[in-house]
Protein backbone atom coordinates (compact mmCIF):
# COMPACT_ATOMS: atom_id res chain seq x y z
CA UNK A 1 0.00 0.00 0.00
CA UNK A 2 1.22 3.50 -0.83
CA UNK A 3 1.85 6.10 1.87
CA UNK A 4 1.42 9.82 2.41
CA UNK A 5 3.22 11.29 5.40
CA UNK A 6 3.64 14.53 7.30
CA UNK A 7 6.56 14.50 9.73
CA UNK A 8 7.66 16.61 12.67
CA UNK A 9 4.65 18.93 12.75
CA UNK A 10 5.28 21.22 15.71
CA UNK A 11 2.65 22.56 18.08
CA UNK A 12 2.54 24.37 21.39
CA UNK A 13 -0.36 22.97 23.39
CA UNK A 14 -1.73 22.28 26.87
CA UNK A 15 -2.08 18.51 27.18
CA UNK A 16 -0.85 16.52 30.16
CA UNK A 17 -1.65 14.79 33.42
CA UNK A 18 0.08 17.42 35.58
CA UNK A 19 -1.57 20.79 36.37
CA UNK A 20 1.49 22.75 35.20
CA UNK A 21 1.23 21.13 31.76
CA UNK A 22 -2.33 22.39 31.41
CA UNK A 23 -1.40 25.85 32.71
CA UNK A 24 2.01 26.47 31.10
CA UNK A 25 1.80 24.26 28.01
CA UNK A 26 4.68 22.64 26.16
CA UNK A 27 5.96 21.58 22.75
CA UNK A 28 4.61 18.56 20.89
CA UNK A 29 5.66 16.89 17.65
CA UNK A 30 3.26 14.90 15.51
CA UNK A 31 4.08 12.48 12.69
CA UNK A 32 1.36 10.93 10.57
CA UNK A 33 1.53 8.24 7.90
CA UNK A 34 -1.59 7.45 5.87
CA UNK A 35 -1.92 4.40 3.63
CA UNK A 36 -4.00 4.46 0.47
CA UNK A 37 -3.76 3.61 -3.21
CA UNK A 38 -2.05 6.57 -4.89
CA UNK A 39 -2.22 5.22 -8.46
CA UNK A 40 -5.47 7.05 -9.38
CA UNK A 41 -4.00 10.39 -8.28
CA UNK A 42 -0.74 9.72 -10.10
CA UNK A 43 -2.55 8.72 -13.30
CA UNK A 44 -4.88 11.73 -13.34
CA UNK A 45 -2.72 14.36 -11.60
CA UNK A 46 -5.91 15.25 -9.71
CA UNK A 47 -5.85 16.44 -6.10
CA UNK A 48 -9.38 15.05 -5.62
CA UNK A 49 -7.93 11.54 -6.03
CA UNK A 50 -5.59 11.86 -3.06
CA UNK A 51 -5.31 13.56 0.34
CA UNK A 52 -4.72 17.28 0.65
CA UNK A 53 -1.74 17.64 3.02
CA UNK A 54 -2.83 21.11 4.08
CA UNK A 55 -6.22 19.84 5.19
CA UNK A 56 -4.60 17.06 7.21
CA UNK A 57 -2.33 19.60 8.90
CA UNK A 58 -5.28 21.87 9.72
CA UNK A 59 -7.25 18.98 11.23
CA UNK A 60 -4.30 17.98 13.42
CA UNK A 61 -3.60 21.58 14.40
CA UNK A 62 -7.21 22.07 15.54
CA UNK A 63 -7.12 18.93 17.68
CA UNK A 64 -3.73 19.82 19.15
CA UNK A 65 -4.52 23.44 19.99
CA UNK A 66 -8.27 23.61 20.62
CA UNK A 67 -8.64 20.72 23.05
CA UNK A 68 -7.00 19.64 26.31
CA UNK A 69 -6.53 16.02 27.33
CA UNK A 70 -4.47 14.32 30.00
CA UNK A 71 -3.08 11.42 27.97
CA UNK A 72 -1.14 11.31 24.72
CA UNK A 73 -3.01 8.07 24.08
CA UNK A 74 -6.32 9.96 24.05
CA UNK A 75 -4.92 12.67 21.82
CA UNK A 76 -3.52 10.19 19.31
CA UNK A 77 -6.76 8.20 19.23
CA UNK A 78 -8.83 11.32 18.54
CA UNK A 79 -6.57 12.53 15.74
CA UNK A 80 -6.36 9.12 14.05
CA UNK A 81 -10.14 8.73 14.23
CA UNK A 82 -10.74 12.14 12.71
CA UNK A 83 -8.33 11.43 9.87
CA UNK A 84 -10.15 8.16 9.10
CA UNK A 85 -13.49 10.00 9.26
CA UNK A 86 -12.45 12.82 6.92
CA UNK A 87 -10.05 11.31 4.39
CA UNK A 88 -10.17 8.25 2.09
CA UNK A 89 -7.24 6.47 3.71
CA UNK A 90 -7.18 2.81 4.70
CA UNK A 91 -4.79 3.07 7.64
CA UNK A 92 -3.27 5.77 9.85
CA UNK A 93 -0.04 5.51 11.83
CA UNK A 94 0.23 8.44 14.24
CA UNK A 95 3.03 9.37 16.61
CA UNK A 96 2.73 12.12 19.24
CA UNK A 97 5.97 13.12 20.96
CA UNK A 98 6.66 15.31 24.00
CA UNK A 99 10.28 16.46 23.85
CA UNK A 100 10.20 18.12 27.30
CA UNK A 101 7.78 16.36 29.67
CA UNK A 102 7.95 17.38 33.35
CA UNK A 103 9.34 14.06 34.56
CA UNK A 104 12.78 13.33 35.98
CA UNK A 105 15.41 11.47 34.02
CA UNK A 106 17.59 11.69 30.93
CA UNK A 107 15.97 11.01 27.56
CA UNK A 108 15.38 12.67 24.19
CA UNK A 109 11.59 12.49 24.31
CA UNK A 110 8.55 10.46 25.30
CA UNK A 111 5.49 9.67 23.24
CA UNK A 112 3.00 7.24 21.81
CA UNK A 113 2.47 5.67 18.42
CA UNK A 114 -0.76 4.05 17.29
CA UNK A 115 -2.00 2.37 14.13
CA UNK A 116 -5.69 2.47 13.24
CA UNK A 117 -7.36 0.85 10.24
CA UNK A 118 -10.66 1.36 8.56
CA UNK A 119 -13.06 -1.41 9.67
pLDDT at residue number 95: 98
Q: Where are the domains of the chain?
A: 2-100
Question: Which CATH architecture group holds 2-100?
Answer: 2-Layer Sandwich (3.30)
CB 26 within 8 A of CB 16: yes
> Cα–Cα distance between 79 and 91 in angstroms, integer?
13
Q: Is 70 a catalytic residue?
A: no
Q: Tens digits of per-residue pLDDT, 43-61? A: 999 999 999 999 999 999 9
> Cα–Cα distance between 64 and 104 in angstroms, integer?
24
Q: Which of 3, 68, 98, 117 is flagged as catalytic?
A: 98
Average pLDDT, the chain: 96
pLDDT at residue number 13: 97
pLDDT at residue number 115: 98
CB 94 within 8 A of CB 76: yes
pLDDT at residue number 102: 87
Q: Tens digits of per-residue pLDDT, 2-39? A: 999 999 999 999 999 999 999 999 999 999 999 999 99
Stated pTM of the model: 0.94
Amino acid sequence: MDKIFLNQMRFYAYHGAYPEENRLGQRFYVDVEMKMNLQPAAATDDLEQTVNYGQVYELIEREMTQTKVKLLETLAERIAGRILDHFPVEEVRLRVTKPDPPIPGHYDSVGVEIVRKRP
